[in-house]
């Protein structure tokens, strides 16, 4: 994937053909020969810089039919569970695949991410999004996860759940987690995490904590500095617990 960005950080995926924008046209020859760091110019003088896309760029621009887990929440998961290169992760409620691809990038070729999604239309989108990457450490299951995970007992470092009724899979999550492994449950509503925390405790999980990952961007304009008025005020709550 080739990516160009303008001075306002607006990103565009380009292919090896003529690129049309409201600010003019970039010739096919320029795009075919473009390398990272090159500045491409339209016939109207608008300039775009060619950059090397990272996983966040890809997730931002990939195909989707639903809302996705944002980087600020995925960052909480990585920060508070300590997952990294070589980790084994299972997630359920894949959606468009943002968390799946984010985790696959984190764990690297020595790690693995298994994901469970029940909706066939979402599965087709996820497959398309996976094909746009070079990850070979992903297993996608088109399955109702309440029927049980396919992983072996005590084999997983992290279970990440994003489901309407996450409590239905907490017991099986405990089964597949290693001792010392974490579960992280994403819920948009307080009533959901109240139920989740009770089920986690009943199942035997320890160190239950509920965290929220709000990020406030600061806007600077002509000596008028303030929080951005268009920021996301709330995304969701993440309930963490550990198998000990």
201-213 per-position pLDDT tens digit: 999 999 999 999 8
Q: Which residues of 206-230 are buried (b: 16+ CB within 10 A; e: fewer)?
A: eebebeebeeeeeeeeeeeeeeeee
**Which sequence spans correspond to the domains of the chain?**
2-51, 63-242
CATH 3.10.20.30 fits 63-242, yes or no: no
Residue 24, strand partner residues: 21
Q: How confident is the model at residue 86 (pLDDT cuts 50, 70, 90)?
A: very high
pLDDT of residue 88: 98
Mean pLDDT, residues 102-118: 96
Stretch 150-162: mean pLDDT: 97
pLDDT at 155: 97
Q: Give the model's confidence band at 60: pLDDT under 50 very low, under 70 low, under 90 confident, else very high.
A: confident
Instruction: Give the Cα separation of 24 and 44 in Å (integer).
Output: 5
Concatenated DSSP letters for 142-159? ES-GGG---SPTT-EEEE
| Integer angstrom CA distances of residue 12 from 15, 66, 101, 149 | 10, 21, 20, 38
Please state the pTM of the whole predicted model: 0.86
pLDDT one-digit tens code per residue, 197-244: 999 999 999 999 999 988 888 888 888 898 887 777 778 899 999 999
CB 212 within 8 A of CB 237: yes
Query: Is the pLDDT reported for residue 11 higher than 80?
Result: yes
Q: Greater confidence, 94 or 25?
A: 25
Calpha distance 231→127 (Å, rounded): 31
Mean pLDDT of 93-100: 87
- pLDDT of res. 77: 96
The pLDDT, as a whole number, for residue 119 is: 92
16's tokens: 């090896």
pLDDT band at 61 (very low <50, low <70, confident <90, very high): confident
Q: How confident is the model at residue 16 (pLDDT cuts 50, 70, 90)?
A: confident
Distance from C-alpha of 195 to C-alpha of 167, rounded to nearest angstrom: 7
The domain at 2-51 falls in which architecture?
Roll (3.10)
Q: Which residue has the higher pLDDT, 107 or 16?
A: 107
| Torsion of Cα atoms, 66 then 67 then 68 then 70, to 10° | 170
- Taking residues 92-112, report their average pLDDT: 93
Mean pLDDT over residues 86-102, rounded?
Answer: 92
102 pLDDT higher than 80: yes
Average pLDDT, the chain: 91
The set of residues, in sequence order, having a beta carbon less than 8 Å from that of 33 and lying 6+ positions away, is none
Q: Using the predicted structure, report yes or no on whether residue 181 has a pLDDT greater than 90.
A: yes
Region class of 148: left (phi > 0), else alpha (psi between -120 and 50), else beta:
left
């Amino acid at each position: 994937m080739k990516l160009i960005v303008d001075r306002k950080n607006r990103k565009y995926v380009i292919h090896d053909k003529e690129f049309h924008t409201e600010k003019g046209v970039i010739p096919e020859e320029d795009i075919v020969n473009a390398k990272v760091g090159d500045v491409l110019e339209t016939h109207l003088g608008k300039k775009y810089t060619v950059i090397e896309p990272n996983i966040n760029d890809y997730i931002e621009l990939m195909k989707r039919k639903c809302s996705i887990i944002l980087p600020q929440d995925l960052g909480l998961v990585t920060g508070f569970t300590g997952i990294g290169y070589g980790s084994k992760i299972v997630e359920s409620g894949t959606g468009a695949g943002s968390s799946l691809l984010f985790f696959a990038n984190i764990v690297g070729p020595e790690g693995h991410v298994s994901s469970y999604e029940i909706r066939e239309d979402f599965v087709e989108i996820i497959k398309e999004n996976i094909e746009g990457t070079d990850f070979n450490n992903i297993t996608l299951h088109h399955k109702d996860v309440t029927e049980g995970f396919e992983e072996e007992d005590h084999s997983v470092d992290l279970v990440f759940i994003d489901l309407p009724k996450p409590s239905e899979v907490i017991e099986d999550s405990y089964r597949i987690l290693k001792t010392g492994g974490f579960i992280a449950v994403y819920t948009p509503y307080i009533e959901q995490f109240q139920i989740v925390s009770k089920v986690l405790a009943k199942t035997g999980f320890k160190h239950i904590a509920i965290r929220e990952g709000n990020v406030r961007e600061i806007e600077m304009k002509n000596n008028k500095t303030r929080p951005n008025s268009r920021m996301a005020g709330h995304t969701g709550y993440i309930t963490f617990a550990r198998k000990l």
